[in-house]
């Protein structure tokens, strides 16, 4: 007898940003496989009988391999369990969702996908800035700052990423941002383009730093915080004193 898997986006970390459907699935789960950034208060919604399994991956730390996580999903579901795969942000955004879907397809296990608040949207909301603006910021682009080897991907479309009229969000990009920014400058992006470094978004230890792409690249070349972070840059990534 096969169980069922719910891929649940937990949002950026604040349990109040969970959807009603996400909370329902957490409460009904027999087992929850959760990412590091989806732990803490979010797991308080689980039943006392629920088995909690940490499967998170963090840069520079010993982490379970993806094939092992996919195998666990199948193994638990094949016992007839109601399984929640809890992923930070939205599971479809740099969450390796497709690899786990493929494993379930191959095993004939049914599943659903419950979206979560993407950390990029939560960061913009916390900073009090929009991601788009009519005429001057019509496009938003999300990009990962490193590949599976932890280095800057060589196949990124840097001319597009250097578009001064787009809002760009870089996930997992602190360590590679100095090199990333060099490529942007080579494509013509001004060094004084507004930038925002958002760390631990929506959590009590959240920090927001408004700066420029050039200054941020210089700072990250010297020191990188262990906190999970996003980098936003473009015409809207700046603090408006008029808004307080």
Q: Which pLDDT score is estimated for 57?
A: 66
pLDDT tens per residue, range 184-217: 999 999 999 999 999 999 999 999 999 999 999 9
CATH number of this structure's domain 4-114, picked from the four choices 3.30.465.10, 3.30.1150.10, 3.40.1010.10, 3.40.50.300: 3.40.1010.10
pLDDT per residue as tens digits for the range 99-134: 999 999 999 999 999 999 999 999 999 999 999 998
- Start and end residues for every CATH 3.40.1010.10 domain found in the chain: 4-114
> What count of other Cβ atoms lies within 10 Å of the Cβ of residue 134?
6
Q: Which of 41-50, 57-66, 98-107, 139-148 has the lowest mean pLDDT?
A: 57-66
What is d(CA 214, CA 198) in angstroms, rounded to the nearest whole number?
Answer: 16
pLDDT tens digit string along 136-175? 898 999 999 988 778 999 899 999 999 999 999 999 999 9
Mean pLDDT (the chain) is 93
Give the H/E segment covering residue 122: helix 119-127
User: What's the number of CA atoms in the CB half-sphere (13 Å) around residue 159?
Assistant: 0
Instruction: Please report the DSSP string for 26-84 in residue order.
Output: HHH-SEEEE-GGG-GGGGGGS-TT-EEEE----TTS----HHHHHHHHHHHHTTT-EEE
Question: How large is the average pLDDT for residues 218-242?
Answer: 88
How would residue 59 be classed by pLDDT, with cut points 50, 70 and 90?
low
> Which class is 119-243 in CATH?
alpha beta
What local confidence, expressed as pLDDT, does residue 244 receive?
Answer: 45
Residue 61 has pLDDT above 60, yes or no: no
Active site residues: 35, 57, 172
| pLDDT level of residue 1 (50, 70, 90 thresholds) | low
Give CATH 3.30.950.10 domain extents, the chain: 119-243
Mean pLDDT of 49-71: 82
**Averaged over 225-242, what is the pLDDT?**
85
Contacts with 135 (C-beta within 8 Å, 6 or more apart), sequence order: none
Spatial strand order of the sheet with 207-212 comes to 139-144, 166-171, 229-233, 194-199, 207-212
Phi, psi torsion values for 195, nearest 5 degrees:
-140, 155
Residue with tokens 């494509």: 187
């Amino acid at each position: 007898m096969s169980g069922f898997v719910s891929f649940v986006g937990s949002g950026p970390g604040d349990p109040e940003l969970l959807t009603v459907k996400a909370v329902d699935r957490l409460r009904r789960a027999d087992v929850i496989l959760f990412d590091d950034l989806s732990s803490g208060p979010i797991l308080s919604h689980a039943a006392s009988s629920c088995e909690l399994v940490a499967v998170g991956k963090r840069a520079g730390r010993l982490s379970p391999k993806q094939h092992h996580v996919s195998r666990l999903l199948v193994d638990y579901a094949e016992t007839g369990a109601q399984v929640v795969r809890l992923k930070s942000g939205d599971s479809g955004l740099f969450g390796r969702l497709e690899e786990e879907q493929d494993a379930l397809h191959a095993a004939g296990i049914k599943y659903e996908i419950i979206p979560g608040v993407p950390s990029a949207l939560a960061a913009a909301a916390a900073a009090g800035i929009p991601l788009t603006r009519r005429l001057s910021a019509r496009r938003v682009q999300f990009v990962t700052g490193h590949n599976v080897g932890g280095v800057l991907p060589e196949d990124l479309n840097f001319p597009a990423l250097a578009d001064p009229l787009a809002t760009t969000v870089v996930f997992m990009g602190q360590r590679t941002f100095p090199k990333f920014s060099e490529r942007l400058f080579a494509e013509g992006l001004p060094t004084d383009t507004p930038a925002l470094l958002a760390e631990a978004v929506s959590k009590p230890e959240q920090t927001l730093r408004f700066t420029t792409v050039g200054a941020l690249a210089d700072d990250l070349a010297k020191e990188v915080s262990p906190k999970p972070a996003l980098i936003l840059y473009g015409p809207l990534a700046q603090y408006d004193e008029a808004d307080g």
